[in-house]
A and B are shown apart, each in its own frame.
Chain A
Amino acid sequence: MSIVPISYYLVLSAVLFGFGIIAFVVKRNIITIFMAIELMLNAVNLAFVAFARAHNQLDGLVFVFFVIVVAAAESAVGLAIIITVYQNRQTLNLERINLLKF
């Protein structure tokens, strides 16, 4: 039993997740948006760990492990793409990269 109630961790997780979403919608720089995604993933990790503690099971931690691994792979590839896009379009403003317009 954790002294700090699990719901506190969950609320923190929700708040961080909400911030991540706000950042994702408000910001214009691609890299910043990418970082917002990482923020969201972290928030979710916190929730997993909190639940693992609550149910006294390990499975939540294993999942966190995998989330981190996948986040690593994803950022590697994502940043490579961002670099390529920058090389082609000379801009990091997401709104200027709109070739998929109708």
Chain B
Amino acid sequence: MFILDHLWIIIALPLLGAAINGLLGKNFSKPIVNSVGIGSVALAFLSFAEAVREFSQLSPNQIPWVKTYFTWITAGQFKVDFSLQVDQLTIVMLGVVTFVSLLVHIYSTGYMAHEEGYYRFFSYLNLFVFFMLTLVLAANVVLMFVGWEGVGLCSYLLVGFWFLKQSAISAGKKAFITTRIGDFGFTVGILLLFWTFKSVDFNTVFKQLISGPPDAAVSTGVLTTICLLLFTGAIGKSAQLPLYVWLPDAMEGPTPVSALIHAATMVTAGVYMVARMNPLFSRAPFAMFVVALVGALTAFFAATIGLVQTDIKKVLAYSTVSQLGYMFLGLGVGAYASGVFHLLTHAFFKGLLFLAAGSVIHAMGGDQEMPHMGGLRNKIPITFWTMFIATFAIAGIPGFAGFFSKDEILDAARSGPNANIWLWLLGLIGAGLTSFYMFRLIFLTFFGKPRYDDHKVHVHESPRSMTVPLILLAILSTVGGWVAAPHFVGGTDYFEKFLHPVFATYAPAVAEGPAEAFETPGMILLHALTGWPVLIALAGLLVAWWFYIKSPETPKKLSDSLRAPYALVLHKYYVDELYNAAIIQPLLWISTNVLWHVLDETVIDGTVNGVARVARESGSELREIQSGNARSYATWVVIGAVGVTVLMIGLWGMVR
């Protein structure tokens, strides 16, 4: 039980890599930086593999496996330990984080090869992995929050990696500040959680939910408030409505960063958190509804914006926001396993999409605009085929990973225990839009005639360090969904079965619904293959094909005739401008005029300077006493004598 006893090794390895690269990397040659950076994550991945092996040997009552290493904070009743836990959900997240991080590290050796600050990049990446692993392995919500904040920090560092570029540092700040707003809600949620349950440890809190006497049970209102507060943190971190605005701007960072942080890991922290807290959420139906509603709205809203963007990374950014919405939709309707499943498949295909986009950008010499591309499929075949596969996956074409996870979510939205037809409708339309804009991306980039100057841009395939991760992820995007495949022929969903203890141990008692009608495996499969999600995905593909291959003048005609809606969507519904006018400018005005001029300058400086001024001026007055004039000194003595005499006669009554 080596790894399970020493779980801290998993998180210590990337931290060590970050420290070594960060402090000494300036003097290292590239191969050494690579080996430190990749090596630490590779070792973490191997530790994960070993942990899986050990985990499989545990008996069910040993799960969740918790290891406490030391007590971090004790303040009265508030006690936080540095304790790490492993259960099935942790295993899934660990796998995603370590594997995708490893691939991104390998990819970065190729992509960032000509960059200044090479060692800094790997140091930051390792640091990010450290924090993400802390977040995932934490056994209490405070330690998870440490990881939560830490990944936010690393996001800021990595998005603003090219810190000499004004837009990059602004984007980094925007990311950090926007998620901070959510984090504030998260913090209040933690406080309320502690206040209610007198503990921040997951298992302790969950046990209290099921073991307390019924009349002393925690009220639904309190639980709902806690869940909503925690969810605001997720809104920020996972870029949902209305705090999604940082994610598209975060594309200023290097593409591997986008792949790792803004596709596979950091933005999924919110999803992980809600899944981890499922006992609380299950008992707060209103909070669940809010989660699902926010998810569905975000899924639809972001998809509409992605329809008309021209920057390849921006399309993928809005796609990420949209897909995260699907995950929350799944969680919100009670299909926790499906939401997590979509997290897994999304990590594969979105990570692949970003890395492949990076490969395209690398081939185009840094240009990210799709109107400048075209006809690349013969020039960069590996990139093309892997990206094509990923597009099938994200669109939900049957057989690929995305189909299984998306179908499960939509199915749960339509006919699950907390089904809501409107949420399903939003999700469905969003799926159609997703298919459309993803295929639009593929067709614009790889098909048609080249729209760039052949002499200025030398399109070349990327080095093997970049293409091998693409291929690996493409394979996973294809087969990754098959763990759930048997479900679609009437069997069990292995993924859901694996995660079942996580979501069932503390689930509230649910009244039995009407039994499902019996169907043969064949009928189930037929229904799945001809269900609405598939139809709308194919419809999206067809429309994209029509718009961009068959009659390419159609998009222009459509955008000209629908000029106003087109402008609205192209400018992202002017949300950033709205935030700027309504929130940022007033805040700046208040900060400058009130806080700075009035409070800081007048009040605080006035007080401090005033104290000094009083001291100086009173000293200046008092020194006049020493005039050198003996008569005045004598008079002072007489004054003193008079004073004492008065005291003696008057106050102390020495004269009878």
User: Are A and B in contact, CB atoms below 8 Å, in the complex?
Assistant: yes
Residues of A at the B interface (CB closer than 8 Å) are 21, 24-25, 28, 94-95, 97-102
Instruction: List, in ascending order, chain B residues with CB within 8 A of A102's CB.
Output: 623-624, 626-628
CB pair B628 A100 closer than 8 Å:
yes
Measured in the bound complex, the distance between the Cα atoms of B635 and A100 in whole Å is 17
CB pair A101 B634 closer than 8 Å:
no
Q: Which of B629-654 contact A (CB under 8 A)?
A: 629-631, 634-635, 638, 641
Instruction: List, in ascending order, chain B residues with CB within 8 A of A24's CB.
Output: 634
Instruction: List, in ascending order, chain A residues with CB within 8 A of B634's CB.
Output: 24-25
Measured in the bound complex, the distance between the Cα atoms of B627 and A24 in whole Å is 18
The list of the 9 closest CB pairs from A to B, nearest first, reads A98-B628, A101-B628, A100-B628, A102-B626, A102-B623, A94-B630, A25-B634, A98-B629, A25-B635
Who on chain A is nearest to B626 by CB? A102
18 extra A-B contacts, CB within 8 A, seeds A25-B631, A94-B630, A94-B631? A21-B638, A21-B641, A24-B634, A25-B634, A25-B635, A25-B638, A94-B629, A95-B630, A98-B628, A98-B630, A99-B628, A100-B628, A101-B627, A102-B623, A102-B624, A102-B626, A102-B627, A102-B628
Who on chain B is nearest to A94 by CB? B630
Closest Cβ of chain A: how far from B517's Cβ, in Å?
A: 106
Measured in the bound complex, the distance between the Cα atoms of B627 and A94 in whole Å is 12
20 interchain pairs, CB-CB under 8 A: A21-B638, A21-B641, A24-B634, A25-B634, A28-B631, A94-B629, A94-B630, A94-B631, A95-B629, A95-B630, A95-B631, A98-B627, A98-B629, A98-B630, A99-B628, A100-B626, A100-B628, A101-B627, A102-B627, A102-B628
Who on chain A is nearest to B624 by CB? A102
Who on chain A is nearest to B641 by CB? A21
Instruction: List, in ascending order, chain A residues with CB within 8 A of B641's CB.
Output: 21
Instruction: List, in ascending order, chain B residues with CB within 8 A of A101's CB.
Output: 626-628
Who on chain B is nearest to A97 by CB? B630
Closest Cβ of chain B: how far from A12's Cβ, in Å?
A: 18
Instruction: List, in ascending order, chain B residues with CB within 8 A of A25's CB.
Output: 631, 634-635, 638
- Scoring B624, B626, B629 by chain A CB atoms within 10 A of each residue's CB, the highest score goes to B629
Instruction: List, in ascending order, chain A residues with CB within 8 A of B631's CB.
Output: 25, 28, 94-95
Measured in the bound complex, the distance between the Cα atoms of B632 and A28 in whole Å is 11
Measured in the bound complex, the distance between the Cα atoms of B340 and A8 in whole Å is 110
Closest Cβ of chain A: how far from B654's Cβ, in Å?
A: 14
Who on chain B is nearest to A22 by CB? B638
Instruction: List, in ascending order, chain A residues with CB within 8 A of B624's CB.
Output: 102
Who on chain A is nearest to B622 by CB? A102
Who on chain A is nearest to B627 by CB? A101
Instruction: List, in ascending order, chain B residues with CB within 8 A of A99's CB.
Output: 628
- Scoring B626, B631, B635 by chain A CB atoms within 10 A of each residue's CB, the highest score goes to B631
Instruction: List, in ascending order, chain A residues with CB within 8 A of B629's CB.
Output: 94-95, 98
Instruction: List, in ascending order, chain A residues with CB within 8 A of B628's CB.
Output: 98-102
Closest Cβ of chain B: how far from A54's Cβ, in Å?
A: 17
Measured in the bound complex, the distance between the Cα atoms of B627 and A99 in whole Å is 9
Instruction: List, in ascending order, chain B residues with CB within 8 A of A95's CB.
Output: 629-631
Closest Cβ of chain B: how far from A92's Cβ, in Å?
A: 13
Who on chain B is nearest to A24 by CB? B634
Instruction: List, in ascending order, chain B residues with CB within 8 A of A28's CB.
Output: 631
Measured in the bound complex, the distance between the Cα atoms of B630 and A94 in whole Å is 7
Instruction: List, in ascending order, chain B residues with CB within 8 A of A98's CB.
Output: 627-630
Who on chain B is nearest to A95 by CB? B629
